Amino acid sequence: MNDNNQNSPSKFCAGCGHPIVLLALGKTLEEMGLSKQAVLGLDIGCSLLAINFLPINTFHTHHGRVSPTMVGFKKARQDSICLGYTGDGGAYAIGLQSLLHSAKRDEPITVLVVNNTVYAMTGGQTAPTTLKGQKTITDPDGCKNAPILGPELMRQVADPKAFLARTAVNDIKQAREFIKKAIETQQAGHFSLIEFLSFCPTNWRTKGQETLEYLENLKKVFKIGVI
């Protein structure tokens, strides 16, 4: 559990998208009056740096195991709002099996996937979301395959009432609208997942405006909106 120390310095790199997603989440929970009921489970990856970021109950899980952990928490504490916070690698590589089955079983949890198209914490390796042609430290000549489209994949197995969507960290208004809808979907007893296209200037090796342009370019492949 966190120490509610809002004075803790941010552990994220300057220009990272993770804190934008977290602030959107914190504000939306506050607005909905759900900060005390909310429980945030963190995957391993740069997500784990969120441990003292928000004044809500937060704990670390294992890499790729945030969705089954939150499924278990929800079964034990049905009045809680269970939020799984993960990177694209945690969600769609090591955690894909458990995430897909959580969606298929329509588990009433909300999964927040921060998609920066790389394994950021471990130094920028190719992830399931890496674009075709994108150069990474493990694909210096460019990734040869198309990326996994997470919400679209979940849609193939999820209940029609599940809320699945994609937004980006440079559209806070939409991010907050989608977070609210995802939490309301959990309250109605259904699965929800939002993918956030997010900045990683450290591994993209971009500066200022270049980072924004990189994110805008991602939107050509990863379509924004309700899936």
Ligand X SMILES: Cc1ncc(C[n+]2csc(CCOP(=O)(O)OP(=O)(O)O)c2C)c(N)n1
Residue with Cβ nearer ligand SF4 (46 or 162): 46
Among residues 28, 58, 61, 116, the one that binds ligand SF4 under rule CB under 6 A: 116
Residue with Cβ nearer ligand X (114 or 169): 114
Element spanning 92, H or E: none
Question: To 10 degrees, the CA torsion angle through 163, 185, 46, 217?
Answer: 30
Q: Which stretch binds ligand SF4 (CB under 6 A): 89-97, 116-124, 137-145, 179-187?
A: 116-124
Instruction: Report the b/e string of 3-24 with b at 16+ CB within 10 A.
Output: eeeeeeeeebbebbbbbbbbbb
User: What is the distance between the alpha carbons of residues 218 and 143, in angstroms, rounded to a whole number?
Assistant: 15
Q: At closest approach, how far in Å is the CB of 109 from ligand SF4? A: 23
Among residues 68, 87, 124, 150, the one that binds Mg ion under rule CB under 5 A: 87
User: What is the distance between the alpha carbons of residues 175 and 24, in angstroms, rounded to a whole number?
Assistant: 7
Pairing of strands 57-60, 38-42: parallel
Contacts with Mg ion in 91-120 (CB under 5 A)? 116, 120
Per-residue contact string for residues 124-163; x = within reach of ligand SF4 by CB under 6 A: ----------------------------------------
Contact flag: residue 203 with ligand SF4 (CB under 6 A)? yes
| Number of residues near ligand SF4 (by CB under 6 A) | 12
Would the CA dihedral through 83, 89, 94, 100 be positive or negative? Answer: positive
Contact flag: residue 46 with ligand SF4 (CB under 6 A)? yes
User: What is the distance between the alpha carbons of residues 172 and 20, in angstroms, rounded to a whole number?
Assistant: 8
Q: Which stretch binds ligand SF4 (CB under 6 A): 8-16, 23-31, 136-144, 164-172?
A: 8-16
Contact flag: residue 44 with ligand SF4 (CB under 6 A)? no
SS (H, E, C) 188-224: CCCCEEEEEECCCHHHHCCCHHHHHHHHHHHCCCCCC
Q: At closest approach, how far in Å is the CB of 73 from ligand SF4? A: 25
